[in-house]
């Protein structure tokens, strides 16, 4: 019993001392903008630093970049998303170059650091949706502890005849978590050089193609 207690205590201490991966570190003087702040005041927060993470919902490979649609979750002190059964919504992140959808697959947990671009309209199924959007300067694809399956009923923010709603509609989301350890590598950093073109709005199925993973490979 005593050994078990100390083992649990050590696990908490180690978690508290975990360091933010190099690929998603930001300047110590930078003021990180939250998902809610960015959505409510997109123009005022344009080009400001963000570090957002969550679970991959969709990947779309563009000619010169990759768009990843994420289910947003708050982050731990060291940058890993706290996956739960509720989320305030989704966001889109653009990464220069090619990211393989077989590695960045639906349900994987990722954290991105970069700059907030603005909001863009799209759809989830047939539901109109407004996506806060960021440009990635670095990412970290976390080693799988749980594989997360996403089934969306309804998210907010949403669009109505009166404009964009926030936060007047409650979250209705079902997230199923199943144990599924993976041996796939974690991602590292990227160095963006240009703003990619915006994708056509829609919720099409993800595209698969071969290629190498961008960034240094490491696991946490």
> Could you give the number of structural domains in the chain?
1
Contacts of 111 (CB under 8 A, 6+ apart): 21, 24, 51, 52, 53, 75, 79, 80, 81, 139, 140, 142
Q: Is 39 helix (H, G, I), strand (E, B) or coil?
A: helix
* pLDDT for residue 217: 37
Kindly list the distances between the CA atom of residue 63 and the CA atoms of 43, 45, 60, 206, in Å, as whole numbers in the listed order.
Answer: 27, 28, 10, 14
Query: How far is 201 from 124, CA to CA, in rounded Å?
Result: 9
Q: Evaluate whether residue 144 is within a structural domain.
A: yes
One digit per residue, pLDDT tens: the chain, 220 residues? 555 555 555 555 555 457 999 999 999 889 999 999 999 999 999 999 999 999 999 999 999 999 999 999 999 999 999 999 999 999 999 999 999 999 999 999 999 999 999 999 999 999 999 999 999 999 999 987 655 556 544 455 555 544 555 544 444 444 444 444 443 334 454 433 333 444 444 444 333 333 333 333 344 4
Residue in 108, 97, 95 with CA at minimum distance from that of residue 58: 108
* pLDDT for residue 7: 54
* pLDDT for residue 25: 96
The answer to whether 12 and 99 are in contact (CB under 8 A) is: no
The answer to whether 122 and 202 are in contact (CB under 8 A) is: yes
* pLDDT for residue 28: 87
Q: Evaluate whether residue 37 is within a structural domain.
A: yes
Q: Evaluate whether residue 125 is within a structural domain.
A: yes
Task: For residue 53, give both structure tokens.
Answer: 């993470």
Q: Evaluate whether residue 219 is within a structural domain.
A: no
Q: Judging by beta carbons within 10 Å of its beta carbon (0-12, 13-18, 19+), is residue 220 exposed, middle or buried? A: middle
* pLDDT for residue 145: 60
The answer to whether 167 and 156 are in contact (CB under 8 A) is: yes
| Extended beta strands in the chain, E state | 49-61, 65-73, 90-96, 109-124, 127-141, 146-154, 158-160, 163-165, 172-179
Q: Evaluate whether residue 64 is within a structural domain.
A: yes
Q: Evaluate whether residue 84 is within a structural domain.
A: yes
The answer to whether 72 and 88 are in contact (CB under 8 A) is: yes
Q: Evaluate whether residue 130 is within a structural domain.
A: yes
Q: Note the pLDDT tens digit of each residue in 17-44.
A: 579 999 999 998 899 999 999 999 999 9
Q: Evaluate whether residue 187 is within a structural domain.
A: no
* Residue in this structure with the two tokens 């109505």, named with its chain if needed: 160
Q: Note the pLDDT tens digit of each residue in 162-188.
A: 455 554 444 444 444 444 444 333 445
Range of the domain at 111: 20-179
* pLDDT for residue 4: 54
CATH number at residue 93: 2.40.50.140
């Amino acid at each position: 019993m005593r050994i078990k207690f100390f083992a649990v205590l050590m696990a908490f201490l180690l978690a508290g001392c975990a360091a933010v991966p190099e690929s998603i570190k930001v300047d110590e003087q930078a003021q990180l903008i939250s998902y809610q702040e960015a959505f409510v005041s997109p123009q005022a927060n344009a080009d400001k630093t963000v570090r957002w993470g969550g679970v991959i919902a969709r990947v779309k490979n563009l000619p010169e970049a990759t768009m990843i649609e994420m289910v947003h979750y708050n982050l731990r002190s060291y940058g890993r998303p706290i996956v739960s059964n509720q989320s305030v919504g989704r966001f889109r992140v653009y990464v220069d170059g090619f990211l393989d959808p077989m590695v960045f697959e639906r349900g994987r947990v990722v954290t991105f650091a970069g700059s907030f671009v603005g909001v863009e309209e799209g759809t989830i199924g047939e539901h109109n949706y407004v996506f806060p959007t960021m440009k990635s300067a670095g990412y970290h694809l976390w080693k799988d502890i749980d594989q997360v399956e996403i089934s969306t009923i309804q998210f907010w923010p949403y669009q109505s005849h009166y404009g964009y709603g926030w936060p007047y509609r409650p979250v209705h989301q079902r997230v199923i978590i199943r144990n599924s350890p993976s041996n796939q590598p974690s991602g590292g950093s990227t160095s963006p050089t240009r703003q990619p073109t915006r994708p056509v709005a829609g919720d099409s199925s993800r595209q698969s193609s071969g290629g190498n993973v961008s960034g240094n490979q490491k696991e946490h």
